[in-house]
Amino acid sequence: MARVYNFSAGPAMIPEVVLQRAKEEMLDWQGSGMSVMEMSHRGKEYVSIAQQAEADLRELLAIPSNYKVLFLQGGASLQFSMIPMNLLRGKTSADYINTGEWSKKAIKEAQKFCEVNVAASSKDTNFSTIPARNTWKLNPDAAYVHYTPNETIGGVEFQDIPEVGNVPLIADMSSNILSRPIDVSKFGLIYAGAQKNIGPAGMSIVIIREDLIGQTISNTPSMLDYKIHVDAESMYNTPPTYTWYLAGLVFKWLKENGGLSAMAAINQRKAEALYAAIDQSSFYNNPVEKCSRSWMNIPFTLANAELDKTFLAEAKKEGLTTLAGHRSVGGMRASIYNAMPEEGVQKLISFMADFEKRNA
Ligand SMILES: *Cc1c(COP(=O)(O)O)cnc(C)c1O
């Protein structure tokens, strides 16, 4: 069977060459006589795989040496609680920016640990905008400022890193990490679940500035303490070894293909082409303000929602799958992470034009 263009928001596409490489190495990793899945995480071979993945990620993102990189379990969602548990550092409140569904979940979890000051929200535009920086009501005494650079469900993305002074800036980059270069030194902590732009599900990556480590609230379980994981180089317990290995193959693929500036150029082209197709049609609509549109997740609706099912069924026949919008919003959503080839987006655009011609 031919591979499809899978527009899933996550778990999402993985580059075909990476899957091929994993297939070749499946039964016998580089003469070890075993699959990576079967290796001891403390053995020389696996440790070399893990360290290479970290080194490649550090190179791709130009991570400064005063930052630690962690490979953890529990998904991005566990970070919603680990962040307040580890980063309150004796303070009683934290600032959160509310730009949609994932921000709301992070806020809800943080409220269990501290006073949450929602310093800005785009609720009044139904989360179709990014609140202008000059409207934010930051608390200078906040432990940190948390925001969601790319809202995976609403399809809104910050185009710049907000300036927040000396308060550590925390970012949930689950759906846009590695999609373009970023200045890591602007952040106190960056986290991301793996299953969108990194690799398979089962792992999250945390990039944390050293001075923020080691001041957890009392009774923090060991598994939720960044310092424990830092000291053990993410091997306090058995890490998600196969996901970590596959993420490493994805990092190699990114390096071989020009790194993050090359990815950014391709991602921008893919997104602009799809938005242009939506905007020049009166049949399709994207509700997000132009300057806040995501390069990664593009929701759109059809003029007549009764055609949604037909659209999805016909698209699937063309090898364009998983285009249904999030269950909370309906309509369509095309997630076009790094691994979605430009041809996949072009094919979707042609299909949309053809569908419109037949149904408008
Ligand atoms: C997918 C996603 C999450 C949740 O990730 P899990 O790994 O399933 O916990 C959190 N934040 C954002 C922005 C996401 O896209």
Q: Do 312 and 165 have their domain in common? A: no
Return the residue whose CA atom lies nearest to atom 13 of ligand 1. 174
Joined tokens for residue 194:
């793996």
d(CA 296, CA 318): 22
Tell how strand 204-209 and strand 189-193 pair up. Answer: antiparallel
pLDDT at 182: 98
Ligand 1 center from residue 152 Cα (angstroms): 8
Ligand 1 center from residue 358 Cα (angstroms): 37
Any ligand 1 atom below 6 A from CB of 174: yes
Q: Which of 175, 294, 296 to mutate to test the pocket of ligand 1 (most atoms within 8 A of CB)?
A: 175
What is the position in ligand 1's atom list of the atom closest to the CA of 195? 7
Return the residue whose CA atom lies nearest to atom 7 of ligand 1. 75
Number of domains the chain is built from: 2
Helical (H) or strand (E) element with 75? helix 75-87
d(CA 18, CA 199): 10
d(CA 318, CA 349): 12
pLDDT at 164: 97
pLDDT at 289: 97
Return the residue whose CA atom lies nearest to atom 8 of ligand 1. 75
Q: Do 293 and 320 have their domain in common? A: yes
d(CA 90, CA 243): 35
d(CA 220, CA 241): 25
Domain boundary at 240, 256, 272, which? 256
Q: What is the separation, in whole angstroms, between the first and last Cα of the chain?
A: 32
Which of 199, 229, 235, 204 has the alpha carbon at shortest distance from 43? Answer: 235
Any ligand 1 atom below 6 A from CB of 100: no
pLDDT at 228: 98
Any ligand 1 atom below 6 A from CB of 295: no
Return the residue whose CA atom lies nearest to atom 14 of ligand 1. 174
Stretches in the chain below the pLDDT threshold 70: 1
CB of 33 closer than 8 Å to CB of 27: no
Tell how strand 150-151 and strand 115-121 pair up. Answer: unpaired
Please report, for the domain that includes residue 310, its CATH number.
3.90.1150.10
Q: Do 210 and 314 have their domain in common? A: no
Domain boundary at 189, 221, 256, which? 256
pLDDT at 15: 98
Q: What are phi and psi of 282, to 5 degrees?
A: -95, 0
Residues 6 or more apart in contact with residue 299 via CB below 8 angstroms: 153, 154, 155, 286, 287, 288, 325, 326, 329, 331, 332, 333
Question: Is 247 a domain residue?
Answer: yes
d(CA 60, CA 211): 23
Please report, for the domain that includes residue 97, its CATH number.
3.40.640.10
Q: Do 274 and 332 have their domain in common? A: yes
Q: State the residue range of the domain holding 143.
A: 16-256
Question: Is 314 a domain residue?
Answer: yes
pLDDT at 67: 98
CB of 243 closer than 8 Å to CB of 50: no
Residues 6 or more apart in contact with residue 132 via CB below 8 angstroms: none
Question: Is 7 a domain residue?
Answer: no
pLDDT at 360: 86
Domain boundary at 239, 256, 273, which? 256
Q: Which of 152, 204, 243, 337 to mutate to test the pocket of ligand 1 (most atoms within 8 A of CB)?
A: 152
What is the position in ligand 1's atom list of the atom closest to the CA of 175? 15
pLDDT at 1: 63
Any ligand 1 atom below 6 A from CB of 75: yes
Instruction: Tell me if residue 357 is catalytic.
Output: no
Which of 51, 63, 59 has the alpha carbon at shortest distance from 207? Answer: 63
pLDDT at 2: 87
